[in-house]
A = this chain, B = another copy of it.
């Protein structure tokens, strides 16, 4: 398994920057994940996934570093459950900016934030846009496994992907997380709206709705069905994520993303 930057001396960090082009930064959260997963689950998965990516890249002859992880995220909606630690959205954005900025100042040219928590996305992207603006020679990318493989998840999963449900629990299993399988139970709130579905396989019309405090819609903290989770499903997801991430890493090392693309419009 590849060495992480924070476990190396500064001289070893210097050598890694000279050798390698890309650094992965795991970004997670410390928030409730139902009765069966530890509250570090997003931070744990982001780190393990980053290491798996670096490992797969090494097998293809590409050295990719894994930087120190950000373990606190935007988790205000989970504060109804003990253990959750949340940063305000602006504060989290600043932390991401300062961590990214520290790495870029030392000479890293490509930073991939490997995110494990959906609630972080918009603030993460805001920080990434500021980093891209302030370090115009660098490439900064947001990697989210459920976005990267969205189309494949429908094939792999029965119920879908919510919070601490089938998809997330499966991936956690594949990444070696401690899962209290005897405490797993499904809790899927009923929706009477065409704009809200708690089943990923159902199609919905989309509008932007703020997330409600989770303890108002579930007792266990689970939104989904972890009993449908399995290590096999998790490994299928992981294979897909790794395969697509290898394409990304090759493009990054060949500067194909350097022109500047966009996933926004209007």
Contact = CB atoms under 8 A, between A and B. Distances in A.
A6 B30 contact: yes
Given A37-B9, A103-B85, A142-B207, A260 B216 contact: yes
A197 B261 CA distance: 8
B206 A147 contact: yes
A236 interface: no
A9 B183 contact: yes
B39 A257 contact: no
A87 B91 contact: no
Contact of A211 (B82, B193, B260): B260
B107 A266 contact: no
Contacts of A118: 264-266
A191 interface: yes
Interface residues of A, number: 118
B103 A95 contact: no
A197 B37 CA distance: 38
A115 to B, nearest CB: 8
A260 B209 contact: yes
B262 A178 contact: no
Nearest to A112: B207
Nearest to A68: B30
Number of copies: 6
Interface string A25-66: 000001011111111101100000000000000000000000
A200 to B, nearest CB: 8
B83 A88 contact: no
Nearest to A40: B6
A241 to B, nearest CB: 11
Nearest to A11: B35
A83 B161 contact: no
A68 B72 contact: yes
A121 interface: yes
A24 interface: no
A76 interface: yes
22 contacts: A5-B83, A6-B30, A6-B40, A9-B32, A42-B266, A68-B72, A76-B133, A82-B107, A86-B98, A90-B90, A142-B209, A143-B208, A148-B205, A161-B265, A162-B265, A191-B261, A193-B256, A197-B261, A207-B248, A207-B263, A212-B261, A216-B260
What are the 4 tightest A-B residue pairs by CB atom distance, in nearest-first order? A212-B260, A142-B208, A196-B261, A13-B83
Given A10-B33, A13-B39, 7 more contacts: A5-B83, A91-B95, A116-B266, A129-B210, A141-B207, A193-B259, A193-B261
